[in-house]
Amino acid sequence: MRAPLLRKTLRDNARGIAGWTLGIVALVAVQLSVFPSVSDTTSKIVDFAEAFPEVFRKIFRLEDYGSAVGYLSTELFSASLPLIFIAVGVTWGARIATDELEQGTSDVLYSLPLSRAHVMWVRLAAMVGVLIFLGAIVTVSLAIGGPLVEMSIAVSRLAAASVSIALAGLIFGSLAAFVGAASGRRSVALGIGLTVAIACFVVYSLAPIVEVMDDVNPYNPMQWTIGAESLKDGIDTWYCIAALATSIVPMFATIIAFDRRDLAA
Amino acid sequence: MTMCAAPREDHAIDVREATKRYGSTLGVSNVSFAVRNGEILGLLGPNGSGKTTLLRMMLGLISITSGSISIFGRDVESAGPDLRESIGYLPGNIGLYDQQTVWQYLGFIAALRRLNLDVPARSLCERFDLDPSRRIGELSRGMKQKVAVIQAFMHAPDVLLLDEPTSGLDPLVQREFEALVDETRLRGATIVLSSHVLAEVERLADRVAVMRDGRLAVIDDVSMLKSRFARRIDLEFPTRVDPKPFATLAGVSDVQVTQHLLTCNVVGAETDLLRLAVEHGVVGVHTHDPSLNEIFLRIVGTNDTGAN
């Protein structure tokens, strides 16, 4: 029963997945292509970064820019890739419960001998699968491209960093899925999912310089994912558990909310 | 939701005091009826009367505020999704997956039912002159409706819930649909048919339930329903007759005489009328039964449910 639904879900989103894949590969390629220039001028880069106030260096994570880890952390894993994964997660999550409702295809689907929970779990699993796939694309792209520009980072660290950003996508994707299931409206799910993600990102970014945000930041999903600095330190177990728990709870809430919902004609 | 009493075993569908409330608005109010195994029940009512809401409650697409609905003795809200294995549903406004071909769509539905329905699906496509290789997005409204009909019937369900099934279908295809319904009835399936095409309901349904403002106004056999309402009888005489003796008969009203023709409305048995007509030398009798359309308009227009 799961296979046809999963196949259809992935097939319906094949173009989107291909687009995201190409975009990620292109982004990684561009950033890798610039790295030799950066590494050749490391001392100048360091001097350049030192010229900025400490606050500025903290916000933009410029402390270790000249190294491979510092460069990738700043250019890819602190903002651009996490935001891409969050965008994937939120746009996917927002459609999990609302797609069929808005297309008018829910009547026949949910009149079949399968539970709503089943459909939701399949769609949530597809979201997880896609985020994992895109994370693997990041890892493979860097693992292949890194040595070409004399960038030496262990594949395990690349994978750890990819897991972290995939978890960021999963957290906010799960939230969007719950809002979609509760409201029945994709626009609401998109809006709330992205708003919460942006708010968390702002808190994370300003935490180094704003005390109240620094106090809240340990409970910030961005801190558990981006802030874990997995590329440098590997997977942080507790942050990973917190991120997974924060993803799983909205998933169960999605099932419950959608199961109780009246499906509008 | 009240606890449902033991459902009647000879009934495929048992609706007991079913109510659906949307805030302060009642979509369906305290509706009770049962549909016998193998019966076709026509569900009539003006727009917004609760027909679609009731069908969706039967499927669990919307929750029941109070009361209960059971299908084959199983409460629709507590039964698992396997209850729907033997149900076919044709929604009033069906949405299909435009990117799929007809065959892909039917195959997807069959796969979700865990059935191999290649043979019946292909047979129905041929019967309804539908090219299964065509992409759904390219189909006209009527062609999409054919797809909707096929997906509801192809797994030979024991219960069919059909909401405006012939909407968008041309008369030839409507005839084919009626033949399909007849065949389905012959194999013992139970059908609830909601339609605005009253002639179709009149042809197919064993009983008719008329809803109005969320309530069940009347439910009865089509023939019994007709007998509740006055039918017009034309009596032809060799000469002009006096209408007064006819007007005094029980059940006879609106007697009018035009030259050799006497017309009147009759509710109930016409025995006395015919006896009197014979005494006056009647040479011709023509009876005009009320159509379901006329009955429907009387019920929903005036809340007149006819004489008991």
**In this predicted structure, which of A34-48, A99-113, A146-160, A193-207 has the lowest mean pLDDT?**
A34-48
B84:A4 CB<8 A: no
pLDDT-derived band of residue A200, with 50, 70 and 90 as boundaries? very high
Residue B194 has pLDDT above 80, yes or no: yes
How distant, in Å, are the alpha carbons of A95, A206, A208, A216, B150 from that of A212? 35, 10, 10, 6, 62
- Interface residue A110 vs chain B (CB under 8 A): yes
Q: How many CB pairs under 8 A join A and B?
A: 74
* Four-residue CA torsion sign, A51, A52, A55, A59: negative
A113:B96 CB<8 A: no
DSSP per-residue letters across A153-206: --HHHHHHHHHHHHHHHHHHHHHHHHHHHHH--HHHHHHHHHHHHHHHHHHHHH
Residue-level pLDDT at B168: 86
Span A8-19, mean pLDDT? 95
A263:B93 CB<8 A: no
Token pair listed for B192: 């609830």
B95:A104 CB<8 A: yes
pLDDT-derived band of residue B2, with 50, 70 and 90 as boundaries? very low
Comparing CB atoms, the residue among A8, A103, A111 nearest residue B87 is A111
Residue-level pLDDT at A55: 65
Span A243-254, mean pLDDT? 96
Q: Taking a contact as any Cβ pair under 8 Å apart, which residues of chain A between 46 and 75 contact chain B? A: none
Residues of A in contact with B60 (CB under 8 A): 110
B11-223 adopts what CATH topology?
A: Rossmann fold (3.40.50)
Query: How do residues B131-154 score in pLDDT, each as one tens digit?
Result: 999 999 999 999 999 999 999 999
Residue-level pLDDT at B1: 37
Cβ contact A172:A86 at 8 Å: yes
Residue B72 has pLDDT above 70, yes or no: yes
Q: Identify the closest residue of chain B to A111 by CA–CA distance.
A: B59
Residues of B in contact with A265 (CB under 8 A): 52-53, 56, 91-93
Q: How far is A243 from chain B (nearest CA, A)?
A: 33
A104:B94 CB<8 A: yes
Span A232-257, mean pLDDT? 94
Q: How far is B286 from chain A (nearest CA, A)?
A: 46
Query: How do residues B13-25 score in pLDDT, each as one tens digit?
Result: 999 999 999 988 9
Question: What is d(CA A6, CA B190) in angstroms, rounded to the nearest whole number?
Answer: 33
Q: Which of A107, A119, A256, A260 to mutate to probe the B interface, most B CBs <10 Å?
A: A107
Q: Identify the closest residue of chain B to A8 by CA–CA distance.
A: B108
Token pair listed for B170: 């041309």
CB neighbour burial string for A107-142, b if at least 16 within 10 angstroms, e if fewer: bbbbbbbbbbeebbbbbbebbbebbeebbebbbbbb
Token pair listed for A10: 């992935």
Percent of chain B residues topping a pLDDT of 70? 95
Residue-level pLDDT at B3: 39
Query: How do residues B98-130 score in pLDDT, each as one tens digit?
Result: 999 999 999 999 999 999 999 999 999 999 999
Question: What is d(CA A97, CA B78) in angstroms, rounded to the nearest whole number?
Answer: 22
Question: What is d(CA B284, CA A207) in angstroms, rounded to the nearest whole number?
Answer: 99
Query: How do residues A82-109 score in pLDDT, each as one tens digit?
Result: 999 999 999 999 999 999 999 999 999 9
**In this predicted structure, which of B54-68, B94-108, B226-240, B270-284 has the lowest mean pLDDT?**
B226-240
Residue-level pLDDT at A1: 55
Residues of B in contact with A262 (CB under 8 A): 61-63
Comparing CB atoms, the residue among A4, A109, A113 nearest residue B82 is A113
Q: Identify the closest residue of chain A to B84 by CA–CA distance.
A: A113
Residue-level pLDDT at B227: 75
Residues of A in contact with B91 (CB under 8 A): 107-108, 111, 265
Residues of A in contact with B92 (CB under 8 A): 265
Residues of A in contact with B114 (CB under 8 A): 1
**In this predicted structure, which of A240-254, B31-45, B266-280, B283-297 has the lowest mean pLDDT?**
B283-297
pLDDT-derived band of residue B291, with 50, 70 and 90 as boundaries? confident
A108:B93 CB<8 A: no
CB proximity list for B187: less than 8 A, separation 6 or greater = B156
Q: How far is A186 from chain B (nearest CA, A)?
A: 18
Residue B8 has pLDDT above 70, yes or no: no
Span B47-60, mean pLDDT? 94
Q: How far is A116 from chain B (nearest CA, A)?
A: 9
Q: How far is A103 from chain B (nearest CA, A)?
A: 6
pTM: 0.86
Q: Which residues of B touch chain A, with CB atoms under 8 Å apart?
A: 52-53, 56, 59-63, 80-85, 87, 89, 91-97, 99, 108-109, 111-114, 148, 151
Comparing CB atoms, the residue among B53, B96, B114 nearest residue A1 is B114
- Interface residue A12 vs chain B (CB under 8 A): yes
Cα angle A207, A211, A217; round to 5: 40
Question: What is d(CA B68, CA B58) in angstroms, rounded to the nearest whole number?
Answer: 9
φ/ψ bin of B164: left (φ > 0), alpha (ψ from -120 to 50), beta (otherwise): left
Question: What is d(CA A99, CA A82) in angstroms, rounded to the nearest whole number?
Answer: 25
Residues of B in contact with A104 (CB under 8 A): 93-95
Q: Identify the closest residue of chain B to A259 by CA–CA distance.
A: B61
pLDDT-derived band of residue A30, with 50, 70 and 90 as boundaries? very high
The domain spans of chain B are 11-223, 230-289
* Four-residue CA torsion sign, B57, B58, B63, B69: positive
Span A111-134, mean pLDDT? 96
Residue A155 has pLDDT above 80, yes or no: yes
Q: How far is A184 from chain B (nearest CA, A)?
A: 14
Comparing CB atoms, the residue among A4, A5, A110 nearest residue B61 is A110
> Average pLDDT of chain A?
90
Token pair listed for A180: 């979609």
Residue-level pLDDT at A60: 62
Q: How does strand B252-258 pair with strand B87-90?
A: unpaired
Question: What is d(CA B54, CA A126) in angstroms, rounded to the nearest whole number?
Answer: 34
| CATH architecture for segment(s) B230-289 | 2-Layer Sandwich (3.30)
- List, in sequence order, every residue forming a beta bridge with B11; answer none if it has no partner: B36
